[in-house]
Amino acid sequence: MTAASQANKQATLPTGGRLLALDLFRGLTILLMVIVNSPDLTGQWHHAYWNGATIADWVFPWFLLIVGVSLAVNEPKMRQQRQLLGDGALLWGIAKRTLQLFALGLLVNLFYTDFSAVRVLGVLQRIAIVYFCCAVLLLYLSRQKILTLGAVLLLGYWALLSFVQFPGAVVGDLSRGNTVVNLFDQHYLPGKLWRGHWDPEGLLSTLPSIVTGITGLWAGWLLQGVTALPPAQATRRWVQLFAAGVLLSLLGYGWSLDNWLGSYAFPLIKQIWTSSFVLYTSGLGFIGFVLLQVFYQQAGRRFWAEPVVFLLKVLGMNATVLYLWHVVLHYLLTQNWWWHFTDTAPDRALSFYGWLTQSSAGPAGTATAWYLLIFITLSILPNFWLYQRRIFIKL
């Protein structure tokens, strides 16, 4: 049998059905993102100022986790494409997707500035970098070497921030804006920095964020072909993923406790993407992924559960569209071009949210609640339109 016929035969082999739990997890994550990006939310729905990790801080790492899971689940297809098309064509496809995501990230940043001071990095740019690195690692390194590299990056990043001298920095200083990560961005990251003199999606913090993608690869390897397995074997895989999630989240949280580890502790800090934050949020993501799978399996027994499954599926299957549209919508609703009228004449320009704040009667938080409801509704409507027409846009 020739190599070409062997490759064609492999390309026809069944690989199992679609992993719907991944769509649900993506849908939940994108919905949480829309909620978190609404104004005046507090508590768990607002990002931690520096130390700690709220629900709002889970969202971004879960996107990177999804990148890794998606790549690993589709690894057999990638290897078939590699056999059929060769390395060059496959790498060009990976590079093309990376550049598209990075360019979209730059476009999003232009909503907040102009070309003369554009912010080079950002959310979509980090997703693009993590995607590229994880895809290339998946092609050229064994699973053991990828996981070993992830561990080295996490430990090396901790050692760098805790023990290495950097000009102008105090060794081990992890206070806001004063870390090696922040000072590195000041010196070497071009363009506008999101926090003025440092950036939460900066250069050095991209390294541990790649490990978040690697933890997603690990989860995806566990779930490869799980939809085609007998129920008992499939359940065993999901239990293993849940156990791994508990282990990672406990390790990450334990690593952050200075009353246990003293100077060796590494706090949970999203804005510099600490190694403990990687483990903690990845573990919680594993747990959430498994719980969504259980919810999906039990949904038919509860009348209210099937609409929830449908909603998350619709959001998850066009997540990139929802992300971009919600950025545009947020810009439109928060800019000061809504006129507030007095008895006889316009008073001054307000944002839509400002108009709601002035117009809403009732207890505190009424305007925030109304805005959240309107913002979520308008954000997700295009996804239903696309789903109804079976249009799925993926980058």
Domain endpoint, select from 283, 316, 349? 316
Domain endpoint, select from 249, 281, 316? 316
**Average pLDDT for 42-60:** 94
- Cβ burial 101-133 (10 Å sphere, 16+ → b, else e): bbebbbebbeeeeeeeebbbbbbbbbbbbbbbb
Q: How many domains are there within the chain?
A: 2
Q: How far apart are CA 163 and CA 170, in angstroms?
A: 10
Is 250 contained in some domain?
A: yes
Are 104 and 172 part of one and the same domain?
yes
Q: What does the pLDDT read at residue 192?
A: 84
Average pLDDT over all residues of the chain: 88
Are 160 and 250 part of one and the same domain?
yes
> Is a pLDDT exceeding 50 seen at residue 7?
no
Overall size of the chain counted in residues: 395
| DSSP assignments along 142-172, one per residue | -HHHHHHHHHHHHHHHHHHHHH---TTS-TT
| pLDDT single digits (tens) 342-389 | 555 455 667 787 778 777 656 657 888 888 999 999 999 999 999 999
Q: What does the pLDDT read at residue 341?
A: 54
Is 166 contained in some domain?
A: yes
Q: What does the pLDDT read at residue 149?
A: 98
Q: What does the pLDDT read at residue 166?
A: 82
Domain enclosing residue 211, as ranges: 20-316
| pLDDT single digits (tens) 171-202 | 889 999 889 999 899 888 888 888 888 899 99
β-bridge partners, 348 = 340
Reported as a pLDDT band with limits 50, 70 and 90, residue 112 is: low
Q: What does the pLDDT read at residue 263?
A: 84
| pLDDT single digits (tens) 10-46 | 333 333 467 889 999 999 999 999 999 888 888 999 9
Is 327 contained in some domain?
A: yes
| pLDDT single digits (tens) 237-255 | 999 999 999 999 999 999 9
Domain endpoint, select from 261, 284, 316? 316
**Average pLDDT for 225-235:** 92
Are 87 and 207 part of one and the same domain?
yes
| pLDDT single digits (tens) 274-307 | 999 999 999 999 999 999 999 998 876 777 788 9
Are 160 and 213 part of one and the same domain?
yes
Q: Which residues contact 80 (CB under 8 A, 6 or more apart)?
A: 7, 10, 11
* Cβ atoms 321, 310 nearer than 8 A: no
Reported as a pLDDT band with limits 50, 70 and 90, residue 265 is: very high
Q: What does the pLDDT read at residue 197?
A: 84
